[in-house]
């Protein structure tokens, strides 16, 4: 098998340049702004992603339209589908978590107020910048050169390591974001752009904040322990969370396999 390293190297360099520009932008922001605004940081990330796309496409003499970032008539619909898919997946995982542990979910009417916008609004540009940085050029380049499986694994691993660089532990990154990357990546390949994975990603992040799974004071629902055995329940909750993510990964892998099979069948039918 003649393996061409060029597309792989370009994809890794793309992600590296994106992260480097993001770091430079963050440093400039910290110099100009004592208190870091995540909203501004998100927009800096979007600019970093778009600049990286432009640099690589210009080097390859490809039009910007080939990036899949220009949008089309179905883009808003795909984004809404993504929101619905992300909500459905998250709801299923929470249902399993609550069913397998003594945790319960309680509504907190005081959890959301005008200050909550400081938590939720930045999620939009933050999610979009990550989808541009990982599911645009790199995913398409790897998929075109090596196929779906390699593009999925490489981008998922890069996405996990990116979160490690942001302060996550290896355990957290590769039992969380690495798993979700397979969902985001498959939706990007299946839909042909980043609108759907952006919707899924955004829905999951918002719901994690709304249910207090990411900490903070602006959660509308609180997941609380109904027993006094807090220490043992923490271990049980962590185990249940790990199991749900393992099932999510398995489902994503099976869906990826099904997608590849369907695409091959479509190609065979087109040749007849």
Instruction: With cut-offs at 50, 70 and 90, classify the pLDDT of residue 124.
Output: very high
pLDDT by residue (tens digit) across 215-229? 666 778 877 766 655
Closest CA to 165 of 9, 16, 10, 48: 16
- What are the sequence ranges of the domains in the chain? 6-271
The pLDDT of residue 3:
62
Percent of the chain surpassing pLDDT 70? 91
SS (H, E, C) the chain: CCCCCHHHHHHHHHHHHHHHHHHHHHHHHHHHCCCCCHHHHHHHHHHHHHHHHHHHHHHCCCCHHHHCCCCCCCHHHHHHHHHHHHHHHHHHHHHHHHHHCCEEEEECCCCCCHHHHHHHCCHHHHHHHHHHHHHCHHHHHHHHHHCHHHHHHHHHHHHHHHHHHCCCCHHHHHHHHHHHHHHHHHHHHHHCCCHHHHHHHHHHHHHHHHCCCCCCCCCCEEEEECCCCHHHHHHHHHHHHHHHHHHHHHHHHHHHHHHHHHHHHHHHHHHC
pLDDT value at 258 more than 80: yes
pLDDT by residue (tens digit) across 128-168? 999 999 999 999 999 999 999 999 999 999 999 999 999 99
Q: pTM value?
A: 0.92
The pLDDT of residue 181:
98
The pLDDT of residue 24:
96
The pLDDT of residue 10:
96
C-alpha distance from residue 31 to each of 28, 162, 257 (Å)? 5, 23, 47
pLDDT, the chain, mean: 88
Alpha-carbon torsion 212, 217, 218, 219, what sign?
positive
């Amino acid at each position: 098998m003649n393996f061409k390293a060029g597309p792989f190297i370009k994809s890794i360099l793309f992600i590296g340049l994106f992260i480097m520009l993001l770091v430079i932008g963050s440093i400039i922001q910290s110099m100009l702004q004592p208190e870091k605004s995540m909203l501004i940081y998100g927009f800096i990330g979007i600019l970093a992603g778009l600049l990286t796309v432009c640099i690589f496409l210009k080097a390859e003499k490809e039009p910007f339209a080939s990036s899949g970032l220009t949008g089309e008539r179905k883009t808003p619909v795909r984004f809404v589908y993504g929101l619905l898919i992300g909500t459905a997946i998250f709801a299923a995982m929470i249902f399993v978590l609550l069913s397998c542990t003594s945790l319960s979910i309680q509504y907190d009417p005081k959890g959301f107020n005008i200050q909550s916008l400081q938590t939720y609004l930045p999620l939009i540009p933050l999610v979009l910048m990550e989808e541009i940085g990982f599911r645009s050029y790199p995913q398409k380049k790897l998929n075109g050169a090596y196929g779906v499986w390699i593009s999925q694994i490489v981008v998922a691993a890069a996405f996990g390591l990116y979160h490690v660089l942001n302060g996550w532990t290896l355990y957290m990154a590769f039992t969380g974001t690495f798993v979700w990357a397979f969902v985001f990546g498959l939706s990007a390949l299946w839909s042909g752009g980043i609108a759907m994975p952006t919707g899924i990603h955004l829905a999951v992040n918002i719901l994690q904040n709304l249910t207090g799974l990411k900490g903070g004071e602006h959660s509308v629902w609180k997941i609380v322990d109904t027993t006094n055995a807090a220490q043992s329940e923490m271990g049980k909750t962590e185990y249940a969370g790990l199991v749900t993510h393992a099932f999510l990964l398995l489902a994503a892998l099976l869906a990826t396999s099904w997608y590849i099979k369907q695409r091959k069948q479509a190609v065979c039918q087109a040749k007849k």
